[in-house]
A = this chain, B = another copy of it.
Amino acid sequence: MDIIKGTSADSRLWLHNCWYVAAWSNELTAENLYAIRITNKPVLVYRKHNGQLVAMADQCCHRHMPLSKGRREGDDIRCMYHGLKFNTVGRCIEVPTMKLQGDEVPPAFVVNTYPVAEKHDWIWVWMGEPEKADEALIPPTTGPDDPHWCMHKGHLDYQANYLMINDNLTDLGHIAYTHLNSFAGGRSDAYFNQPRVQKLDRGIRITRWNTDAPRRAYQRSQDSHFDQFMTYDFIVPGVLMMYQGMYTAGTAQASDFGPPPEDLDPDTASFTSQAVTPMTDGTSRYFFSWGPRMSEHQQNPQIVEGMWKLANKAFMEDKLTIEAQQLNVNLQTASPMVSITDDRGPTMFRRVLDTLIREELAS
């Protein structure tokens, strides 16, 4: 039951009482039936005509046909195998043959519904006990819908367990190598300051100054040196919210390597929200956004495109890395895995997740 080992066996333990990102908001149009698997369960999400969301098991209670292959009838869903019709709370309200005979649909004709919320441009689904679903537990991310930022967004599907991706995202050490030719701008040396890693209730907080950081092409001041400040919370099951700012060289030290003064205007700043959703044991969906402040964008509309190109290069580097790692892990060679300082983030996060899963199993 010790998920911090990260073996594939352990990875079948899920946290249920948790909000999982199912989609970007715009992946749900007014009409479509959106299907995704989350923690090995088929989930259907769609919008009612009043805009409210519905999430339910994507399998008819009759023969497990995916309802996402069914038909909308107003806000209800008709399974197109035998015509069972479900309302927005998962209650079967019509079985065609019963209707003709004047029979009532039995109360057992239901599909599981899931608490669902739309916040920060994401659709969130709660996979555990509905009565425990608390929107306050949705990580307070900043999405592309925030007018202060100008972000692009996308997703990638991984042939890997989600814990492998979480490990990657809670570790800054890999930037200097995996992303040497993207985020690190060719300079491994600039990325070795150790981050502060702090435990949060349902995640961890990581903060780092990269002094004398590589300048990026889109920065306003081309001739100066900068200290790069990065801070993010990483919350279960795998939600990242990161602020980055380039400050005049010396700011790190002046701030005692803590957060820079709030009233200090960085040369450039950006925000990225990311989320890892376990679809099945061996597949995951990785959602991501990134972009500069809207004010920077207005001065230079090219910035966001340049950043997006860089991000897509880097995220593909991660995918190739993690999928190659997963193939080796699948071989189960029984070789040990040693720990390094960079693992503080991954280890602390896996412990947080492990503890929450244990508590859930014990309750």
Q: Hey, which bits of chain A sit against chain B, CB under 8 A?
A: 37, 40-42, 57-59, 61-66, 69, 78-84, 95-98, 100-101, 106, 108-109, 111-112, 167, 171, 173-174, 176-178, 180, 188, 192, 194, 320-321, 324-325, 327-329, 331, 333, 335-342
Q: Offer 26 A-B interface pairs, CB within 8 angstroms, sorted by A.
A: A40-B331, A57-B333, A57-B335, A59-B335, A61-B338, A62-B339, A64-B325, A64-B333, A66-B324, A69-B324, A80-B177, A81-B174, A81-B177, A82-B173, A82-B340, A83-B173, A83-B188, A84-B340, A95-B340, A95-B341, A96-B188, A97-B192, A97-B341, A97-B342, A98-B340, A112-B335
Q: What's the least CB distance linking A14 to chain B, in Å?
A: 13
- A41 in complex: contacting residue of B84, B108, B111, B333, CB < 8 Å: B333
Q: What's the least CB distance linking A295 to chain B, in Å?
A: 35
Q: Which residue of B lies closest to A64 (CB)?
A: B328
Q: Are B176 and A83 in contact (CB under 8 A)?
A: yes
How far is it, in angstroms, between the C-alpha of A95 and the C-alpha of B343 when the chains are bound?
12
Q: Are B337 and A63 in contact (CB under 8 A)?
A: yes
Q: Which residue of B lies closest to A100 (CB)?
A: B192
Given A42-B328, A79-B177, A173-B82, verify A65-B335 contact (CB < 8 Å). Answer: no
Most buried by B among A98, A338, A340: A340
Q: Are A82 and B171 in contact (CB under 8 A)?
A: yes
How far is it, in angstroms, between the C-alpha of A57 and the C-alpha of B98 when the chains are bound?
48
Given A57-B333, A83-B188, A194-B97, verify A66-B338 contact (CB < 8 Å). Answer: no
Most buried by B among A98, A171, A194, A337: A337
Q: What's the least CB distance linking A342 to chain B, in Å?
A: 6
Most buried by B among A41, A69, A98, A325: A325
Q: Are B341 and A101 in contact (CB under 8 A)?
A: yes
In the assembled complex, which residues on chain B have CB atoms less than 8 Å from the CB atom of A329?
A: 64
Beyond A64-B333, A65-B324: 11 further Cβ-contacts under 8 Å? A42-B333, A59-B333, A62-B338, A62-B340, A64-B329, A66-B328, A81-B177, A82-B342, A83-B176, A97-B173, A108-B338
- A325 in complex: contacting residue of B66, B84, B333, CB < 8 Å: B66
In the assembled complex, which residues on chain B have CB atoms less than 8 Å from the CB atom of A41?
A: 331, 333
Given A178-B80, A321-B81, verify A335-B62 contact (CB < 8 Å). Answer: no
How far is it, in angstroms, between the C-alpha of A25 and the C-alpha of B325 when the chains are bound?
27
In the assembled complex, which residues on chain B have CB atoms less than 8 Å from the CB atom of A188?
A: 83, 96
Given A63-B337, A82-B340, A177-B81, verify A328-B96 contact (CB < 8 Å). Answer: no
Given A57-B335, A59-B335, A82-B342, verify A65-B98 contact (CB < 8 Å). Answer: no
Closest 9 CB pairs of A and B: A83-B177, A97-B341, A64-B328, A80-B177, A82-B173, A59-B328, A65-B325, A100-B192, A61-B338
- A96 in complex: contacting residue of B111, B173, B324, B339, CB < 8 Å: B173
Q: Which residue of B lies closest to A171 (CB)?
A: B82
How far is it, in angstroms, between the C-alpha of A41 and the C-alpha of B332 when the chains are bound?
9
Q: Are A328 and B80 in contact (CB under 8 A)?
A: no
In the assembled complex, which residues on chain B have CB atoms less than 8 Å from the CB atom of A40?
A: 331, 333
In the assembled complex, which residues on chain B have CB atoms less than 8 Å from the CB atom of A342?
A: 82, 97
